[in-house]
Amino acid sequence: MRFIRKKISLLFLLTCLISSAQEKVIIFSINDIHSRIENFSKIKPLIDKEKEKGNKVFFVSAGDIFSGNPIVDNYSEKGFPIIDLLNRAGLDISVIGNHEFDYGQSILSDRIAQANFPFICANFSGGIGELSNVKGFEIIQKDGFSIAYIGAIETGNFGRYPLTHPKKVKGLFFTNPIQIFEDYKILDENSDIDLVVALTHLGKSGDEKILENFNYIDLVIGGHTNHIYGKRHESGYMIMSGKNLEMISKTTLSVNKGKIIDFQFEKIDLSNVSLEKDQNIDLLIQKYKDNPFFYKKIGYSSVDHTRVETGCFYTETIRKMTNVDIVIQNNGGIRSNLKKGIITPFDIYSIDPFGNGVDSFLITPAELNFFLKKYNKRYSISSRINVELKFNGDIEIYRDGKKVGDDQKISLAMNDYISNTYGEYLPEPSYSYPFTTAEYIIKYLNNHAGEILNFENCSNF
């Protein structure tokens, strides 16, 4: 009986020792918020409550904090409201996402200088200003618990660049975002680091590759593909938290001797009206939104349009403003639908948030066919001449019932994101327009105030 008691006592002592060696860590995570500011006031109370419990609390972003809300994208200091709100909410660190470059390197450098938190990215170099100070990794410590965050950005654009306007990353050099983790294995040997986290903007498949190839990574917190999950995969764990600040994830970890021994993932819906708001942040959001320019009536739509129908509206409007034969627009550049009712500048900048310019070309049908085959992306098209798509994927062009010959030229316009990304497959632009695509659409609507828009059931061909 005494022997049994001793065994029980030893087991209890061992359990207490293991329990005391465990660290409870909470990580709040967001990604791909794209300048959405409405739910920011609900974040700080969530974080503060966990801190009041004595927990070690981290708040991180997996990139794409910019591009998607006209209030932020067209602020006098482009993007500043997001930096301001993230500072006030207590963000600890962010990886650079592809849309962080949308405003240009100089503006991104200015925003980094205003941030109370570091930006990281291990697979790029060549920046100037604050961009030159961006490190590949940072160590963030909370109450004696240290996490090393390693950053990586996707390079899925033509020429191994991130998916942003080529002009915006000119002079920067990007390397393979998976292979770069080979350079950071030494972090796992640092006894002062409790966890190693990959903070990435690569997408789900890229995050999986990291865990499959680098077992020193304990956790990947990712963005770019807008998934929602918190799960175990191969030798580590993966988190992604949706998009547009619709939710924030809360991950609770139990860590013992640098290993995650328990993982719990919670999705917190930020649209929940019962969530507490920080009143000071809420008032600041209302102040940022108080800009009458964005809410004045400039048009009217009689129906709710699908994304395809919105593409028809977009291309036809640009074609009429540029007076060319054909306009094409990449579907990925249309970010919202044209809704029924009053149309405002806010609506147009939501549909087209990227500030792209417009290039026009004089091009033969053969040159256009060559470009479209190389482009090989989904697009919307508007044409004042007849365009026929053949079974082999070629197009034939007819003007006034007569086929346009291969030695004849037509006028073509597109946003300059396409023309700069795929410029080697196009002739030189005949003209570059002085305003952005969104500005031309707003100009068109202002000039046609009585027109009621309806592109229901439109067809690109």
> CB 409: neighbour CB atoms within 10 A?
17
The C-alpha atoms of residue 46 and residue 153 are separated, in whole angstroms, by 28
Q: Which pLDDT score, from 0 to 100, does residue 221 have?
A: 98
In this predicted structure, the answer to whether residue 49 has a pLDDT above a threshold of 80 is yes
* CATH 3.90.780.10 in the chain, residue ranges: 294-453
The C-alpha atoms of residue 399 and residue 388 are separated, in whole angstroms, by 11
288 with 436: CB under 8 angstroms? Answer: no
The pTM of the full predicted model, rounded to 2 decimals, is 0.92
Q: Which pLDDT score, from 0 to 100, does residue 393 have?
A: 80
The single-letter code of the amino acid at 81 is P
In this predicted structure, the answer to whether residue 13 has a pLDDT above a threshold of 50 is no
The C-alpha atoms of residue 248 and residue 411 are separated, in whole angstroms, by 47
pLDDT in tens, 147-174: 999 999 999 998 899 999 999 999 999 9
Model confidence band, residue 392 (pLDDT cutoffs 50, 70, 90)? confident
In this predicted structure, the answer to whether residue 6 has a pLDDT above a threshold of 90 is no
Q: Which pLDDT score, from 0 to 100, does residue 9 have?
A: 55
Apex 418 CA angle, 362 and 245, nearest 5: 150
Token digits of residue 169: 């990353």
Burial of 72 (0-12, 13-18, 19+ CB in 10 A): buried
CATH T-level assignment (fold) for domain 294-453: 5'-nucleotidase;  domain 2 (3.90.780)
**CA nearest 404: which of 315, 316, 320, 326?**
326
Lowest mean pLDDT among 190-199, 310-319, 388-397: 388-397
- Mean pLDDT, residues 113-118 taken together: 98
In this predicted structure, the answer to whether residue 431 has a pLDDT above a threshold of 90 is yes
181 with 135: CB under 8 angstroms? Answer: no
- Mean pLDDT, residues 410-434 taken together: 97
Q: Which pLDDT score, from 0 to 100, does residue 336 have?
A: 96
The C-alpha atoms of residue 396 and residue 369 are separated, in whole angstroms, by 9
Q: How far apart, in Å, are the Cα atoms of 427 and each of 358, 361, 363, 430?
A: 15, 7, 7, 9
pLDDT in tens, 18-45: 445 789 999 999 999 999 999 999 999 9
In this predicted structure, the answer to whether residue 370 has a pLDDT above a threshold of 60 is yes
Q: How far apart, in Å, are the Cα atoms of 152 and each of 68, 178, 196, 292, 332?
A: 22, 8, 14, 39, 22
16, HSE (Cβ side, Cα atoms, 13 Å):
6
Q: Which pLDDT score, from 0 to 100, does residue 255 have?
A: 97
Per DSSP bridges, beta strands 410-415 and 219-222 are unpaired
CATH T-level assignment (fold) for domain 18-289: Purple Acid Phosphatase; chain A, domain 2 (3.60.21)
> CB 295: neighbour CB atoms within 10 A?
13
Token digits of residue 77: 């200091």
Please state, for a pLDDT cut of 70, what percent of the chain lies above it.
95
Quote the mean pLDDT of the chain: 94
The C-alpha atoms of residue 246 and residue 150 are separated, in whole angstroms, by 25
* CATH 3.60.21.10 in the chain, residue ranges: 18-289
Nearest-10 crossing angle of helices 105-114, 80-89: 30
**Residue 20 phi, psi dihedral angles, 5° rounding:** -70, -20
